[in-house]
Structure 1
Amino acid sequence: MSTPVHLSIAALSINCADPVALADFWARVLGRPVNPGATPAYAAIDATDPAGGPKITLHHDPELKPVRNRLRLALRTDRFETESLRLIGLGAESLGDFEKPSLRWTTFADPEGNEFDLVTSQPA
């Protein structure tokens, strides 16, 4: 018999050089407002509804390590081309396009170089 799980993701935390600027980028990507009170040390973006995903917190880290991020967001869409162009217009950099028989995705970097993916289903 398995033990019941009583956990859920409360927030995704991102260490960064400029929490206010990066919060603004992610707020525009996700269509959510940056929470009031953002400072050079901390900013947050709340989920606007339960289906919108977890809260995102951004923390200033003066000792950022020059390594690839270990947590990578995957954003799902059914408007792949439109959203790809919008992300680039917001300051994301396209790093590569990939396809599998039922899946297509592009890996992007946010303005501080954190990688994330835009994913869409493809007809079989």
Structure 2
Amino acid sequence: MSTAPTNGIAGLAAVAVDCSDPPALAAFWQRLLGGLAEDDAHGDTMLTGGLVDVIFMRVLEPKTGKNRLHLDLRAADADAAVAFAIEAGATKADDVYKGPRWQVMRDPEGNEFCILPPRS
């Protein structure tokens, strides 16, 4: 059982992702998470109504190094989910972790995420 914090925080609004091409990256993640992607007047793209809301924010600097924060996606069928992610444009990130517990992936801009097997 979880309880609401008493610090004034009401909840998680969205996960923010810095990227060079918000509409393109949102389209990739929309295939994995579902939802509706909408561009705003600032050149950012908001993905809402899927598994989690994500805002893709345009930045000029390229990604360097491993993400300090990433999404873990629970799969009903891990092999099928990995294959689908690859077909959508992801690549395996075996240089980050290669083992039996989960599959580390990279989205089209190099942001890491994990596909976890079903809960046992």
The TM-score, its normalising length taken from structure 2, stands at 0.81
Shift of the 31–65 alpha-carbon distance from structure 1 to 2, 3 Å rule, reads closer
Q: State the identity as a percent.
A: 30
Deviations for 1:26-77, whole angstroms, at most 9, x for unmatched residues? 0011122212x357820010024xxx23x10001101235232211100001
Count of residue correspondences: 112
Pairing partner for 1:111 from 98, 108, 116: 108
Larger % of strand: which?
1
Q: 1:13: which partner in 2?
A: 16
Q: Report how far residue 79 of structure 1 moved.
A: 1.1
Deviations for 1:71-111, whole angstroms, at most 9, x for unmatched residues? 11000012111111100000000112422xxxx31000000
Shift of the 9–20 alpha-carbon distance from structure 1 to 2, 3 Å rule, reads same
SS at match of 2:93: strand
User: What residue ranges of structure 1 are gaps of 5+ in the alignment?
Assistant: none
User: What residue ranges of structure 2 are gaps of 5+ in the alignment?
Assistant: none
Partners of 1:38 and 1:112 in 2: how far apart?
Answer: 20
Is the CA contact (8 Å cut-off) linking 1:94 and 1:107 kept in structure 2?
A: yes
